[in-house]
């Protein structure tokens, strides 16, 4: 048996994002190609939307805009407080960095504390974050988890955060988003967060027939008569946009 040299030269220290790319299963579970609702591409989208929902839970920004292009590029814009501009890069690239350890800022969160957007960044070919706060913005662009560009200045955009990412085909070969899985997940967010509005722009989302729409409406009314909230879904003539609203009844049960 040949000897394997084991000395100081064999010890490696990985950066936060390198470790995620090396051991993605520790952070997002399975990888997959999008054929299963638990596949990694849906977890990446979930982690970004979770952060937007956390802002809503804390009382900032009731609307979240989500778009998914045919190429797989995802875009999530919330209208919360926006990441503090001086910490934008660290918040999306250094693991265990974030405000969710501070109960003054987040009393409750649904995302992975200090991990979520870092995993999305590390497992994306391209990742862009832009934070808007009080008339100023900070933008950072990453490729395969490596920072390639930064920009900051003045803006007329409303406060909030924009995340855009393209999943890495090295981790998710031949992947594609099944819009029905995305649609179902957004309905869960709406059901659990009264008053939250989510807009989904996805060209491949098939428009339901009038019969299917009627059946869904009937099921929703039946399922919500004994709940504190009611869910309603509006679809425009174009099947590319969905607005989901969950509103509370005025009178308690």
List, for residues 45-75, the tens digit of each pLDDT value.
999 999 999 999 989 989 999 999 999 999 9
pLDDT digits (tens, 9 = 90+) for 122-147: 999 999 999 999 999 999 999 998 99
- Considering only residues 83 and 20, tell me which one the structure prediction assigns the higher pLDDT: 83
Q: What's the sign of the alpha-carbon dihedral 238, 191, 220, 187?
A: positive
> Which residue segment(s) compose the domain that 109 sits in?
16-180
pLDDT digits (tens, 9 = 90+) for 155-179: 999 999 999 999 999 999 999 999 9
Q: Which pLDDT belongs to residue 126? A: 96
Question: What is the CA 242 to chain-centroid distance, rounded?
Answer: 17
Asked, for residue 198, whether it belongs to a domain, the answer is: no
Asked, for residue 49, whether it belongs to a domain, the answer is: yes
Q: Which pLDDT belongs to residue 101? A: 44
Question: What CATH number corresponds to the domain at position 42?
Answer: 3.30.565.10
- Indicate whether 150 pLDDT > 90: yes
Asked, for residue 207, whether it belongs to a domain, the answer is: no
What is the overall mean pLDDT for the chain? 78
Count how many domains the chain has: 1
Asked, for residue 225, whether it belongs to a domain, the answer is: no
In this prediction, residues 197-226 reach a mean pLDDT of 59
Asked, for residue 90, whether it belongs to a domain, the answer is: yes
Asked, for residue 242, whether it belongs to a domain, the answer is: no
Asked, for residue 200, whether it belongs to a domain, the answer is: no
Asked, for residue 51, whether it belongs to a domain, the answer is: yes
């Amino acid at each position: 048996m040949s000897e394997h040299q084991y000395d100081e030269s064999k010890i490696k220290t990985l950066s936060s994002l390198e470790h995620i790319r090396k051991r993605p299963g520790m952070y997002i579970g399975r990888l997959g190609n999008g054929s299963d609702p638990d596949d990694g591409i849906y977890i990446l989208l979930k982690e970004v939307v979770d952060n937007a929902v956390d802002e809503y839970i804390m009382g900032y920004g009731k609307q979240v805009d989500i778009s998914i292009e045919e190429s797989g590029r995802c875009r999530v814009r919330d209208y919360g407080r926006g990441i503090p501009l001086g910490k934008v890069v660290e918040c999306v690239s250094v693991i265990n960095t974030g405000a969710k350890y501070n109960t003054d800022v987040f009393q409750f969160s649904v995302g992975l504390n200090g991990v979520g957007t870092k995993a999305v960044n590390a497992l994306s070919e391209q990742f862009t974050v832009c934070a808007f706060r009080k008339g100023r913005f900070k933008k950072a662009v990453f490729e395969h988890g490596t920072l390639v560009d930064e920009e900051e200045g003045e803006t007329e955009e409303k406060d909030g955060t924009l995340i855009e990412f393209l999943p890495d085909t090295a981790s998710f070969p031949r992947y594609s988003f099944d819009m029905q899985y995305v649609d179902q997940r957004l309905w869960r967010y709406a059901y659990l967060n009264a008053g939250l509005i989510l807009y989904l722009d996805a060209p491949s989302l098939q428009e339901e027939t009038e019969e299917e729409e009627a059946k869904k409406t009937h099921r929703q009314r039946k399922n919500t008569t004994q709940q504190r909230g009611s869910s309603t879904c509006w679809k425009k003539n174009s099947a590319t946009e969905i607005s989901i609203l969950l509103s509370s009844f005025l009178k308690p049960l």
